[in-house]
Amino acid sequence: MGQQDFREAMAGVCAPVTIVTAAEHGTPYGVTVSAFASLSLRPPMVSVALNRSSDVLRRILATGRFGVNVLSGEQDGPARTFARRLPDRFAASGAPWTYDHGLPRLTDAPGWLVCDLRSAVEGGDHLLLLGDVTHVRTSKAAPLVYGHRTFGTHSAFAR
C-alpha cells in the first residue's frame, strides 16, 4: 500500500470540520481540523490530531488548554481560511471572534468545547491530543463535514 492509496481510502470517510484554537500571551492561534472525535462520556473527553509542525499544537502543549469550534454547514469560509498557512488567520477569516474561557471562539459557531489537555500520544507525523472537556455550548445547526476532499453538510434520513 502506498501513501496515495491510503489518502484515497481516507477521502471516503466523512469527518466533522472544526477549528481548534489556543491562546498564548494574548495571541490567538487556530487551525482547521477534521481529525476530531468524542472519546469518553465519563469523564467527558475528546481527541484531536494535529500535525507535529503545527504552531497551534506548540501553544496547546505550552498552555495545556484548547478550544474546539464545531462548524455549521454555512461556515466553509472560516474552515478554508484556517486550513491555509497565513500570518493572521483570524483577521483573514473576516469572521467574528471572541474569547470564551480564555480561548478564541468563533462567535457564531454552533458548537464550542473548552478542553484541558490530559495527554498527547505520538501517531506518526501527528500528535493525538486527549482533552478533558470542561465547558460545552451546543446548537441544532447542520454540521459542516469533509469527505472526498470537499465540504458539505449532513442530511438526516426521513424519520
72 located within any domain: yes
37 located within any domain: yes
155 located within any domain: no
- Scored b (16 or more CB within 10 A) or e, 73-104 reads bebbebbebbbeeeeebbeebebebeebeebb
pLDDT value at position 154? 84
CA 106 distance to own-chain centroid: 12
46 located within any domain: yes
pLDDT digit of tens for each residue in the chain (159 aa)? 899 999 999 999 999 999 999 999 999 999 999 999 999 999 999 999 999 999 999 999 999 999 999 999 999 999 999 999 999 999 999 999 999 999 999 999 999 999 999 999 999 999 999 999 999 999 888 999 999 999 999 888 876
69 located within any domain: yes
Asked if 16 and 148 count as a contact pair (C-beta separation under 8 A), the reply is: no
Instruction: Residue 100: give the domain boundaries.
Output: 12-145
Number of independent structural domains in the chain: 1
Going by C-beta distance under 8 Å and a sequence separation of 6 or more, which residues neighbour residue 96?
A: 106, 107, 108
pLDDT value at position 157? 84
158 located within any domain: no
What are the beta bridge partners of residue 66? 115
- Scored b (16 or more CB within 10 A) or e, 40-58 reads eeeebbbbbbbeeebebbe
6 located within any domain: no
Asked if 47 and 39 count as a contact pair (C-beta separation under 8 A), the reply is: yes
73 located within any domain: yes
CATH of the domain at 46: 2.30.110.10
